[in-house]
């Protein structure tokens, strides 16, 4: 009867566990890379707008993909109280070809461009009925039909709110006054330093002139020849 080495079984089990762990890490890494570089759709940093009744608004939408695109499908829908109404749809063959779009709304215009990865739309002469949520959707067959969507909210008003800039004006005025005061102080400081420096220079020059003038006067008065006068009268 064959004997079983328990140590061997433990080592084998550890190896299998290690292999599974490595395989799991590899899969997680691949999924992470795929997720980071995958298709993403965005309506920008501000995903809502307040527009005036009767105006024209841009509903922005862009896409990104580090992998690249191939026959990218995109569409726009309007959420009418839970009912999704298609506004337009289209395809982009690749990064170098412009998109083709089919518009199914009479006041809508597709303004996207594959060069800028842009699939935005314009909505003309908006009414209060146009208020609501607009969904931008894209699907990339090159990434195993990975898809992504983003929502943009439109609010229609009769009159735009006036922004109260009083606080901003006060802050700018105070800052301007402070800056102006600092500049004035610096100018005065420079003038004072220049004046003091000039005065010191004049004082020093005057002292040198006085010393020089005093030396010349002493010479003229015979002070410098005092020693010669003190000599004895030469013998005959």
CATH of the domain at 145: 2.60.40.10
Whether 28 is covered by a domain: the verdict is: no
How far, in Å, CA of 228 to CA of 236, rounded? Answer: 18
Contact 48, 40 (CB under 8 A): no
- Chain segment 140-181, per-residue pLDDT in tens: 999 999 999 999 999 999 987 665 566 666 787 777 878 888
Residue 210: DSSP 8-state: H
Whether 15 is covered by a domain: the verdict is: no
Q: What is the pLDDT of residue 175?
A: 79
- Chain segment 31-82, per-residue pLDDT in tens: 444 445 689 999 999 999 999 999 999 999 999 999 999 999 999 999 999 9
Q: Tell me the sheet residues that pair with 88.
A: 76, 103
Whether 49 is covered by a domain: the verdict is: yes
Do 187 and 116 lie in a common domain? no
How far, in Å, CA of 208 to CA of 211, rounded? Answer: 5
15 against 16, higher pLDDT: 16
Do 84 and 68 lie in a common domain? yes
Do 140 and 189 lie in a common domain? no
User: Structural domain of residue 182, as residue ranges?
Assistant: 162-201
Mean pLDDT of 173-201: 82
Q: What is the pLDDT of residue 117?
A: 94
The pTM of the whole model exceeds 0.95 = no
How does the average pLDDT of the chain come out, rounded? 79
Residues in the chain: 236
Do 94 and 122 lie in a common domain? yes
Q: What is the pLDDT of residue 201?
A: 77
């Amino acid at each position: 009867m064959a004997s079983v080495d328990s140590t061997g079984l433990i080592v084998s089990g550890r190896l299998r566990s290690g292999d599974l762990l490595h395989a799991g890490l590899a899969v997680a890494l691949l999924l992470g890379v795929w997720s980071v570089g995958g298709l993403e759709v965005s309506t920008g940093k501000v995903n809502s707008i307040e527009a005036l009744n009767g105006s024209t608004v841009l509903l922005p939408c862009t896409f990104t993909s580090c992998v690249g695109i191939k026959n990218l499908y995109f569409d726009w829908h309007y959420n009418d109280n839970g009912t999704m109404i298609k506004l337009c749809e289209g395809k982009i063959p690749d990064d170098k070809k412009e998109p083709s779009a089919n518009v199914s709304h009479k006041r809508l215009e597709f303004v996207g461009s594959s060069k800028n990865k842009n699939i935005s739309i314009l909505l003309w002469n908006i009414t209060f009925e146009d208020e609501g949520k607009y969904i931008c959707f894209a699907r990339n067959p090159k990434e195993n039909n990975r898809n992504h969507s983003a929502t943009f909210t439109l609010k229609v008003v009769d009159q735009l709110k006036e922004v109260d800039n009083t606080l901003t004006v006060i802050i700018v005025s105070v800052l301007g006054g402070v800056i102006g005061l600092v500049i004035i102080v610096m100018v005065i400081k420079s003038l004072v330093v220049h004046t003091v420096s000039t005065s010191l220079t004049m004082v020093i020059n005057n002292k040198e002139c006085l010393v020089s003038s005093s030396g010349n006067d002493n010479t003229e008065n015979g002070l410098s020849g005092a020693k010669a006068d003190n000599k004895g009268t030469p013998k005959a």
